[in-house]
Structure 1
């Protein structure tokens, strides 16, 4: 199996927002970002260098972006996260484009890891 060249690197950032249209308007007007909609609850953005997303958060807490890392081998990375002291808070799940899991690090920060495999 080949590697992507971005294994274990920060690859994506997600913002939990209550109003995707408002977030699009702000970041589009203020910074010129472009957008791709994936249904009513998700919108991907691009700043020309980094991609990220706005995820609708009905009752959740807005703010505090979710940093997402990429892994060539998602299962192995999950094991490494657990072995290093991380706590899995969302087991591996499928989404359009791949699979991912969420974890908290020993300091309590939530991050995610995704793979296109």
Structure 2
């Protein structure tokens, strides 16, 4: 049976690939591989069974203030801590951290202008 097994990666165009890789490695703690990819191991603490592809209308305000056509959602165990790392790295923080019944969310614009949504699963 043919099926999708999970998210393999996110591929994006960059103005300065080396600077972009360095920012994610230096400020956000993501490992840089010998191939130049930024990778991390899946954690048992992450929601393990699902990744998603979520289409939005072309005119959605949800990606604002980014003008990119892609927004990246990353799972984390500490939204507040990751937002602080992004802030210290010079990222533009978007809005306030939102603690909801679905978990905690935080947003920033990375060095290439992509809006990054951080998601921390609700405890319990």
**If the length of structure 2 is used for normalisation, what is the TM-score?**
0.46
Greater share of residues in strand:
1
**If the length of structure 1 is used for normalisation, what is the TM-score?**
0.49
